[in-house]
Amino acid sequence: MAEPILKVENLKKYFPIKRSLIDTLRGVPQKMVHAVDGISFEIYKQQVFALVGESGCGKSTTGKLIVKLLEPTDGKIYLEGRDVTHIRSKEEILAYRRRVQIIFQDPFSSMNPRFRIFDILEEPLLIHGIGETKAEREELIYKALEMVKITPPEEYVGRFPHMLSGGQRQRVAIARALILNPTFIVADEPVSMLDVSIRAEILELMKELKEKMGVTYLYITHDMSTARYFADWMAVMYLGRIVEMGPVEKVIDNPLHPYTRALLAAVPEPKPERRNIIKELPIKGEVPNAVDIPPGCRFHPRCIYAQKGLCDVEQPQLIEYEHNHWAECHLVGKY
């Protein structure tokens, strides 16, 4: 198989929690939020790799680590085989960002309200020194807007973000990411703030751009249904770890991990005949905080199949149970 575009190895990010001065003097140990706690995956060209999980599972932190908005605590990130974990110099970061871009969740706060659409799209060009004259940049901006179907572009470039609808703003955000012609895009919940009718439009657009421009995506979402529709591969995260990974159909049609099963059971479906059935979810309690991670398998306090003496003691490993289908559970096939 070809070389992966992006490869992540045992990536970790811990955030320190503020201690009081007295605690610091007393030598109370520093507590850490284990936001991302040792994850590895590979993404190949023109793939859409979905990172799915509930809030607080570390999926957005992973995205930020990849675009280098955060420094990892440990682990490695490779872009097209090159180790980019610790690039620091301005030139290196610039060169990296030209290839790796991000689309944020909230199109209402990810744009400067005082910038016109033209300025929003011109900024990345100026930063990266693309287009010598204003006319050249204008051409690129018009092209980018046309690509995301904001037409005619000359009508929109003079507007401010608040003059656009949510869907249009998200399309401008996509244009801003695409204007540098990146190889890799991290899309962090790009449709979760949008109405259903517009959601479909944005997903269609991102799909089309994948084909046309050969972009590869990391699609971060909490929504299994859009992941099924948009992504090829999927990794399910829980408390900073990947608990299951594989092609989307395999994970959704034949989930191996009890957490994946619970997540899938929780997805509402537009089938009114289900309205009189109360289907209890195969999961207990609520997500613990990421400071005091449970020992052993971190899902065991919520798992309805957990075995005493095994799951609460021993940390399971991510194992390939069938071709291309990985899970991190002691009990795969035994529950």
Partner 1 sequence: MAKNVLEVKDLKMYYFTSKGVVKAVDNVTFNLRKGEVLGLAGESGCGKSSLGFTLLGMPTPPGKIVSGSIKIDGREIVGLPEDVLRKEIRWQKISMIFQGAMNALNPVYTVGYQMVEPLILHKGMSKDEAIDRAQKYLELVGLDPEIVYRYPHELSGGMKQRVIIATALLLEPEVVIADEPTTALDVVVQAQIINLLKKLKKELGLSMIFITHDLSILAEISDRVAIMYAGKIIEIGDSEKIYYEPAHPYTQKLLAAIPRLHEDIDRLEFIPGQPPNLINPPKGCRFHPRCPYVMQVCREQEPELKEIDKDHYAACWLL
The residues binding partner 1 (CB under 8 A) are 54-55, 165-167, 195-201, 203-204, 222-226, 228-230, 252-253, 262-276, 278-281, 283, 286-287
Report the alpha-carbon distance of residue 119 to residue 9 in Å, rounded.
37
CB-nearer residue toward partner 1: 82 or 274:
274
Strand partners, 102: 186
Task: Work out how close the CB of 130 gets to partner 1 at its nearest, in angstroms, rounded to a whole number.
Answer: 31
Both tokens of residue 224?
């299994």
Task: Work out how close the CB of 267 gets to partner 1 at its nearest, in angstroms, rounded to a whole number.
Answer: 5
Task: Work out how close the CB of 250 gets to partner 1 at its nearest, in angstroms, rounded to a whole number.
Answer: 13
Task: Work out how close the CB of 81 gets to partner 1 at its nearest, in angstroms, rounded to a whole number.
Answer: 33
Task: Work out how close the CB of 26 gets to partner 1 at its nearest, in angstroms, rounded to a whole number.
Answer: 26
User: Which residues does 177 contact at the CB level (< 8 Å), separation at least 6?
Assistant: 101, 102, 103, 185
CA–CA distances in Å: residue 301 to residues 154, 261, 293? 57, 16, 11
Q: What is the largest CA-CA distance in the chain?
A: 69
Q: Chain-centre distance of CA 96, in angstroms?
A: 18
CB-nearer residue toward partner 1: 162 or 275:
275
Task: Work out how close the CB of 272 gets to partner 1 at its nearest, in angstroms, rounded to a whole number.
Answer: 3
CB-nearer residue toward partner 1: 80 or 201:
201
User: Which residues does 308 contact at the CB level (< 8 Å), separation at least 6?
Assistant: none
CB-nearer residue toward partner 1: 272 or 309:
272
CB-nearer residue toward partner 1: 200 or 293:
200
CB-nearer residue toward partner 1: 270 or 333:
270
Sheet of strand 325-327, all strands in order from the earlier edge strand to the far edge: 100-103, 184-188, 216-221, 48-52, 233-238, 241-247, 325-327, 319-322
